[in-house]
Amino acid sequence: MYRRWNPEDTTPQPPRRQYHAVWDTGATVSTVSERVVEDLGLQAEGYDKVFHVGGVELNVPQYYINLAVLTDVHFPGVRVLQGKLLGTDVLIGMDIINRGDFAVSNKNGATSFSFRIPSVEDFDFASADNRPSPNGAARLGEHEPN
């Protein structure tokens, strides 16, 4: 992640920083912590109202950054809001997630996820095929008869 910068500009690219991020499907807009704002020297480019679990917050600073996720997926000029985040410095919200395909798996009890852009196919695990699940468990949307 680094502050907004145009590669066609003649100025040097700002230094990149890495931060711990949480993918949050409940967040409409991606959010960064005060630490990120300070580290990157971001300047507020407007203010917005935010609705969250704790209520409503007015005059929340908004910034624009260049965001890179999963090493090779880049989003230039992303609008982010500043928030009080616990245990992380970045929330990746639906403004980023809805630009591609996002899948979560829990194979052998190990949770992993994958993300790609652009979106290239629909996922429908309930109707993908009619074979039983490998471990014999019912698929989501199915139930065992009484």
53: domain CATH number is 2.40.70.10
72 found inside a domain: yes
Picking from 85, 68, 87, 89, the residue whose alpha carbon sits closest to that of residue 77 is: 68
Cα-flanking dihedrals φ and ψ of residue 2, to 5°? -155, 165
**Could you tell me the pTM of the whole model?**
0.76
25 found inside a domain: yes
Picking from 92, 108, 122, the residue whose alpha carbon sits closest to that of residue 24 is: 92
List the structure tokens of 24.
Answer: 């949050």
Coil, strand, or helix at residue 80? strand
76 found inside a domain: yes
* Total tally of structural domains belonging to the chain: 1
- Ordered alpha helix ranges (H), 4-86: 34-40
Q: What is the span of the domain harbouring residue 25?
A: 2-6+15-98
Pairing of strands 21-23, 90-92: parallel
From first to last of its 146 residues, the chain has per-residue pLDDT tens of 767 777 777 777 778 889 999 999 999 999 999 999 999 999 999 999 988 888 888 899 999 999 988 767 888 899 999 999 999 999 999 999 999 998 888 999 999 888 888 888 887 777 756 455 666 555 544 444 54
38 found inside a domain: yes
109 found inside a domain: no
66 found inside a domain: yes
